[in-house]
Amino acid sequence: GAVVSQHPSWVICKSGTSVKIECRSLDFQATTMFWYRQFPKQSLMLMATSNEGSKATYEQGVEKDKFLINHASLTLSTLTVTSAHPEDSSFYICSAPSQGQRNEQYFGPGTRLTVT
Amino acid sequence: SQQGEEDPQALSIQEGENATMNCSYKTSINNLQWYRQNSGRGLVHLILIRSNEREKHSGRLRVTLDTSKKSSSLLITASRAADTASYFCATDRQGAQKLVFGQGTRLTINP
């Protein structure tokens, strides 16, 4: 089946620095990708919809200037956490919808961000 | 919050027993899906049921959907230790691809 990869799988950074997370669709094109955040023992919360060639759409309460999303190609979306703080420590997961009518989404393996 | 509810939040059973998890949602939907997540890992798609379907089977999985009650259940029969994971339901609306996840059920299968 289709594969979505994320890089890095984990990252530790200091407060105030920025971190970039990549999401790639490996064997299919994705004009849309989704970014989720998951805190420990909680569910996934949609942060934003990444749109190839246009601006991302952010969910209510998500700061677009803090979580920069760039969907520069049909196989790559990046999420940059700017001026990271310890409360940004979380598991970040991306997904891409399947092609065709199956309405499934393929999820990346996630990136664990720890801000110290 | 637009998130749905899942119950139980945690379930611990013996290997070989059946496990049932329930999910309720708040808005009209196009599809409802179930995903599994092993600790600290990404999500694995298990099964999708459309709004006009009432029951679906896949291997040891059985999913039901009651749109009048806005609820779904996932049954795992003859559970195995490898089924230990968190299970999430997720819904999408007509014309929208983004998913809204339930709060999840942490399932532990004891050998």
Omega before residue A8 within 30° of 0, cis? yes
- Residue A32 to residue B101, Cβ atoms within 8 A: no
The CA R_g of chain B, rounded to the nearest whole Å, is 13
Mean pLDDT of A62-86: 95
Shortest CA distance from B87: residue in chain A: A43
pLDDT at A101: 59
Tell me the backbone φ, ψ of residue A47, rounded to 5 degrees.
-95, -50
- What is the rounded CA–CA span in Å between residue B75 and residue B65? 12
Among partner residues A43, A49, A105, which is closest to B104 by beta-carbon distance? A43
pLDDT at B1: 45
Contacts of B100 in chain A (CB under 8 A): 46
Tokens of B48: 């999708």
Contact B41, B105 (CB under 8 A): no
- Residue B42 to residue A97, Cβ atoms within 8 A: no
Show which residues on chain B lie within 8 Å of chain A, measured between beta carbons.
3, 30-31, 33, 35, 40-45, 48, 88, 92, 97-104, 106
- Residue B92 to residue A103, Cβ atoms within 8 A: yes
CB pairs under 8 A between A and B: 56
Q: What is the band of A87 on the pLDDT scale with cuts at 50, 70, 90?
A: very high
pLDDT at A91: 97
Among partner residues A95, A105, A109, which is closest to B41 by beta-carbon distance? A109
pLDDT at B6: 81
Shortest CA distance from A58: residue in chain B: B98
Q: Which residues pair with A77 in a beta bridge?
A: A23
- Residue B35 to residue A107, Cβ atoms within 8 A: yes
pLDDT at B97: 81
Q: What is the band of A1 on the pLDDT scale with cuts at 50, 70, 90?
A: low
Mean pLDDT in consecutive groups of 10 residues from the start of chain B, 111 residues: 74 97 92 92 92 96 97 97 96 82 95 90
Q: Which residues pair with B56 in a beta bridge?
A: B63
pLDDT tens, position by position, A2-33: 789 999 999 999 999 999 999 999 988 999 99
- What is the rounded CA–CA span in Å between residue B69 and residue B105? 20
pLDDT at B21: 96
